[in-house]
Amino acid sequence: MDPSQTLDSIVALVHSAVRQHGWDSITNQSGVSRHTINRFRSSHSLLATKPKLDTIRKVAEVCDPDPATAPRRWQTVIANAGVRDTEPASANPYKGLLPYGIKDAPVLFGRTREVAILTRWVEEGLNGQGNRILSIEGPTGSGKTSLMFAGLGAALSQRTDLQVALVLPSEVQEEAAPGTSLREAVRRRIEDALREQTPAFSVPKTNSTAELAEFLSDKRIVLGIDEFEYYLADKLRWQTPMLDLLAELHNRCRSLCLSLIHI
């Protein structure tokens, strides 16, 4: 069984249970945090963030309408799908729908030219010689996220004069107000990036995008937004807050580059 098909069935199960019983019920019964359960938005989010298999199994069992047989059934389904907690050292480097992360840079093949182009774009943008917004566009499964993470992200992570922050949809809390949730996800990921060089560094929490932008105005940062189309598709909830946030950061932080990854 294809892992993405198995995870699709789990995602559908979780969505149905949330609608019927609510977040608190699932969180209390499974012992899994709401932040982690939020990753069950899509099979792509699960594949990208790769929560522990025990976590996936616990959530699936709690959400299953037939709890008596759920443990045995989901343990078998997940095992048959070939989804594993970790890859063995000699694993096949071809991951199918799984995107490469920064740590997979050594096995990313055939993207040398594209990585060089993106790196040059970043240099020109940060130096005021070019556009500071990059759109990485392509069909689902074409390697956009892998290019950003294992390609550009890995290349720039070796630098000491800038930081790379990559935001996945799974890191955005759906239950919070959209503007607050997006701002906090971006703040947290930028803080993590800055701590790579200065462990004790912190980006203060704020209810103002202008204040966040002001604090970051002297930092050299590449901010990547994965699955950007997700926010644009939901005009009523996510589109305006996301565009307002990015516009504010772009206008106030002259040394910040945006990379938008979408289909």
| 139 found inside a domain | yes
pLDDT given for residue 47 in this prediction: 54
Torsions phi, psi of 252, nearest 5? -95, -30
The per-residue pLDDT for range 47-87, each reduced to its tens digit, is 555 556 667 777 777 787 776 666 666 666 656 555 554 44
Tell me: do 40 and 123 sit in the same domain: no
pLDDT, averaged across the chain:
79
Tell me: do 137 and 256 sit in the same domain: yes
Tell me: do 77 and 106 sit in the same domain: no
The per-residue pLDDT for range 234-249, each reduced to its tens digit, is 877 889 999 999 999 9
Model-level pTM?
A: 0.63
Tell me: do 117 and 217 sit in the same domain: yes
pLDDT given for residue 189 in this prediction: 86
Tell me: do 220 and 143 sit in the same domain: yes
| 87 found inside a domain | no
Q: Count the domains in the chain.
A: 2
CB 197 within 8 A of CB 160: yes
Residue 54 belongs to what domain range? 3-81
Strands (E), the chain: 133-137, 163-167, 221-225, 256-262
Domain end (from 16, 51, 81): 81
What's the CATH number where 238 sits? 3.40.50.300
Mean pLDDT calculated for residue range 87-102: 68
| 97 found inside a domain | no
